[in-house]
């Protein structure tokens, strides 16, 4: 990935789209990394006899994301919507391997 241009330095839609596409690829890479931690959580939860869904942790993750989003000037409702989907996907992934 090349050094990103600042949005103000993009002079046309083609340049802007290149930057957005690079960010999208970086986000996917981060999601892949996050999924590897979810996979490791399966092993740890099985050993500790923990369920896939731990409601207090779900609430903590969403609260953390809302706070971080607010502090970084991102709409916290958008962050919550995105993370709620991500967390649910993660729980389903875990539940495939953790007996209820």
Summarised one tens digit per residue, pLDDT across range 13-72 is: 999 999 999 999 999 999 999 999 999 999 999 999 999 999 999 999 999 999 999 999
Beta-carbon contacts of 92 under 8 Å, excluding residues fewer than 6 positions away, are 52
Residue 99 confidence (pLDDT) above 80:
no
The C-alpha angle 52, 55, 61, rounded to 5 degrees, equals 95
Q: Kindly list the structural domains of the chain, giving each domain's residue range(s) and its CATH number in brackets, ordered by start.
A: 9-95 (1.20.59.10)
The model's pTM: 0.87
Residue 1 confidence (pLDDT) above 80:
no
């Amino acid at each position: 990935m090349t050094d990103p241009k600042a949005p103000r330095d993009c002079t046309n839609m083609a340049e802007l789209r290149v930057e957005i596409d690079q960010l999208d690829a970086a986000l996917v890479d981060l999601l892949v990394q996050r999924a590897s931690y979810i996979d490791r959580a399966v092993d740890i939860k099985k050993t500790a006899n923990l369920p896939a869904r731990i409601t207090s942790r779900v609430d903590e993750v969403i609260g953390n994301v809302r706070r971080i989003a607010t502090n970084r000037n991102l709409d916290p409702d958008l962050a919550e919507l995105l993370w709620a989907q991500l967390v649910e996907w993660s729980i389903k992934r875990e539940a495939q391997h953790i007996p209820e």
